[in-house]
Amino acid sequence: MIDKTKFYELFCFILTSARGCVDEPPIYGPLRLLDTYSRLIDALDEGSVDPFWQELKEQIDSYKNDAMYDAEGFVKAIDQTLAAVAQHIQEKGIEGEA
């Protein structure tokens, strides 16, 4: 389950991010989406998140600020993350996870 306070904070973050994307550099859009993923994982009850998705959050957190300093590396890291997710889904399947 998700804590209501954290849910409302996430909801407000998404809304303010949408507004921010209007005036910000285009690379900030993907950054904000990745930050939303991290915040969503943090908002879930501890122990309810499959370890793969928690590790993915930590991986994303390690490179998301590169968007401001190394756009090429940032995009490459997103591609690597997507490859890891695709591999995970092929190996385990989403249906098999809680």
The one-character DSSP state at 50 is -
What pLDDT score does 59 carry? Answer: 96
What pLDDT score does 24 carry? Answer: 93
Q: Is the dihedral of CA 19, 20, 22, 27 positive or negative?
A: negative
Q: What percent of the chain has pLDDT over 70?
A: 96
Q: What percent of the chain has pLDDT over 90?
A: 72
Q: Phi, psi at residue 2, to the nearest 5°?
A: -115, 135
Please write the tens of the pLDDT for every residue from 46-93: 788 889 999 999 999 999 999 999 999 999 999 999 999 999 999 987
Provide the residue type at 55 as one letter. Answer: E
R_g of the chain, CA atoms, integer Å:
15
| CA 88 – CA 74 distance, rounded (Å) | 21
pTM, two decimal places = 0.84
What pLDDT score does 98 carry? Answer: 47
